[in-house]
Amino acid sequence: MSERDLGRLKIIEDIEAQRLSVVQGAELAGISRRQMTRLVRAFRDNGAAGLISGKRGKPSNRRYTDGYRDYVLELVRLHYADFGPTFALEKLAEDHDITVSKQTLRKWMTDAGIWKTRKERRSRVYQPRNRRDCFGELIQIDGSHHWWFEDRGPKAALLVYVDDATSKLVHLWFAESENAFDYFHSTKDYLSEYGKPLAFYSDKHAVFRTTHVSNKDATTGMTQFGRALHELNIDIICANSPQAKGRVERANKTLQDRLVKELRLRNISSIKDANAYMSEFMADYNARFGKAPRNDKDMHRPFSEHDSLDGAMCHKEFRTLSHTLTLRYDKVLFIIEPSDFTTGLARKRVTICDYPDGRLEIQYDGVTLPYRTFDKVQSVNRAEVVENKRLGPALDMIAAMQAEREVSRSQSAPRRTGQTGHMF
């Protein structure tokens, strides 16, 4: 008997002993007088056992049949074996027109060994931090390396931008690796759509932070990405631990679950196709998991007249022009075309702008200078006279020499995704 039944038994015994009336007993038990009368009658007929419901221990009349349960579990095993109950239920409703309660599916999956309860999973402790008040006040940014396409494609990095106030995804971009050029490209797209946030919040990846810091010059020791944000008057804050930027870390965990499966269901196996699908995925994700900010104000700022988004989001290095108007970059000699303007630039400091799309510009005080190149690595020897029968071996030797020149590029120069050497 349950504790409730034992309490009712004590009340009924007092009624039978005339220490309580039926009305008083009903009030103590919290039931109606009519119900108490039925319980007293059942006690007189069958004793204490009469207080126990005859339906106890028997299956509900509204329960699903075993065949229906097995059918649902078979669909889950076949299509959604690594889905959580909530996500699996959404897909069962969308694709198979199956509607059961979330708790019912959770129990079925737990009993079948498909899903583990929270107690069975290892718990993690994260230190709490209040959200920011406004949208665009703080954007958490991170790169997630994962087998996003499973065995259908290569391992890739997903650059994730999450608003701290709302937990909404503001930008997603797939790249082959997590490097400065891909962050330039994706950040440029995000800034073009929303404007400038107050600050980015990142980890201590080499793209965001360097240990070579000077107290004399605020820009000395900045990474290329940090310098680009500084030019646009955007701050970047580096977290001391992954738990500190838990918003984007938890988003990464959700993406590695849901996004992988969405890509699988759509048979997407390339970075190009995945990037084309990101806007649709973000809209659905934000509708499900986005939160309303405490303050409706949008803290994104418009670009000012002196801001140059394209000019900031590039790799910049500085060189001093020689008396002959030349400079070296990545083992290539750049020769500035002489003119009335460039002739006076000898011994002047110029800026080399290496863009993510492969363009390279040499600028002085914002003016782009025309140039031509002389590649010392690809210096040409005097052509050799080769007989027809020796043409095959000669071509083989030329191919080997070209391959050697290709890998002799400077290893310290910036590299884009998949780039083996600069082409000018």
User: Could you write out the three-class secondary structure of the chain?
Assistant: CCHHHHHHHHHHHHHHCCCCCHHHHHHHHCCCHHHHHHHHHHHHHHHHHHHCCCCCCCCCCCCCCHHHHHHHHHHHHHHCCCCCHHHHHHHHHHHHCCCCCHHHHHHHHHHCCCCCCCCCCCCCCCCCCCCCCEECCEEEEEEEEECCCHHHCCCEEEEEEEECCCCCEEEEEEECCCCHHHHHHHHHHHHHHHCECCEEEECCCCCCCCCCCCCCCCCCCCCHHHHHHHHCCCEEEECCCHHHHHHHHHHHHHHHHHHHHHHHHCCCCCHHHHHHHHHHHHHHHHHHHCCCCCEEEECCECCCCCCCHHHHCCEEEEEECCCCCEEEECCEEEEECCCCCHHHHCCCEEEEEECCCCCEEEEECCEEECEEEEECCCCCCCCCCCCHHHHHHHHHHHHHHHHHHHHCCCCCCCCCCCCCCCCC
Residues 47-86 pLDDT 10s:
887 777 766 666 667 778 888 999 999 999 999 998 999 9
Which pLDDT belongs to residue 421? 43
| CATH (domain of 236) | 3.30.420.10
pLDDT confidence of residue 252:
94
| Domain total in the chain | 4
Is 290 found in the same domain as 154?
A: yes
Task: For residue range 200-222, list pLDDT tens digits in order.
Answer: 999 888 888 876 654 444 445 68
Range of the domain at 372: 314-424
CA–CA dist 366, 217 (Å, integer): 22
Crossing angle for the helix pair 102-111 and 85-96, to the nearest 10 degrees? 110
pLDDT one-digit tens code per residue, 70-128: 999 999 999 999 899 999 999 999 999 998 999 999 999 999 989 988 777 766 565 57
Dihedral, CA of residue 69, residue 70, residue 76 and residue 77, to nearest 10: 160
CB neighbour list of residue 8: distance below 8 Å, 6 or more residues apart: 29, 39, 51
Cβ-contact 169, 160 below 8 angstroms: yes
Determine contact, residues 183/159, Cβ cutoff 8 Å: yes
CB-CB contact of 9 with 51 (8 Å): yes
Would residue 85 count as lying in a domain? yes
pLDDT of residue 275: 96
Classify residue 100: in a domain, yes or no.
yes
In this prediction, the residues of the chain whose per-residue pLDDT falls under 70 are 1, 54-60, 122-127, 211-221, 375-424
Q: In this structure, are 318 and 258 located in the same domain?
A: no
Which of 273, 270, 188, 269 lies closest to 225, judged by CA?
Answer: 188
Q: Under a CB-based contact definition with an 8 Å cutoff, are residues 392 and 300 in contact?
A: no
Do 155 and 266 lie in one domain? The reply is: yes
pLDDT at 79: 92
* Residue 160, domain member (yes or no): yes
Spatial distance between the Cα atoms of 78 and 72, rounded to a whole number of angstroms: 10
Same structural domain for residues 320 and 389?
A: yes
Closest CA to 336 of 320, 312, 355: 320
For the stretch 34-52, what's the b/e string if a residue is b when 16 or more beta carbons lie within 10 angstroms of its beta carbon? eebeebbebbeeeeeebbe
Residue at 174 is within a domain: yes
pLDDT reported for residue 46: 83
In a domain, 230, yes or no: yes
Q: Are residues 34 and 138 in the same domain?
A: no
d(CA 95, CA 85): 15
In a domain, 142, yes or no: yes
Domain stop point among 263, 298, 333:
298
171, part of any domain: yes
Judgement on whether residues 334 and 358 belong to the same structural domain of the protein: yes
The pLDDT of residue 285 is 96
pTM of the complete model: 0.65
- 348 and 239 co-located in one domain: no
pLDDT of residue 424: 40
Q: What pLDDT score does 126 carry?
A: 54
Together in a domain, 285 and 366: no
Nearest to 104 by CA among 82, 119, 124, 89: 89
On whether both 105 and 148 belong to a single domain, the answer is no
Of 298, 326, 353, which residue is a domain's last? 298
Q: Are residues 294 and 218 in the same domain?
A: yes
* Residue 424 near residue 360 (C-beta atoms within 8 A): yes
| Per-residue tokens: 91 | 């897909």
Does residue 120 form part of some domain? no
Same domain, residue pair 171 and 240: yes
Q: Does residue 395 sit in the same domain as residue 334? A: yes
- Per the listing, tokens 């391992």 go with 155
The confidence score (pLDDT) of residue 228 equals 93
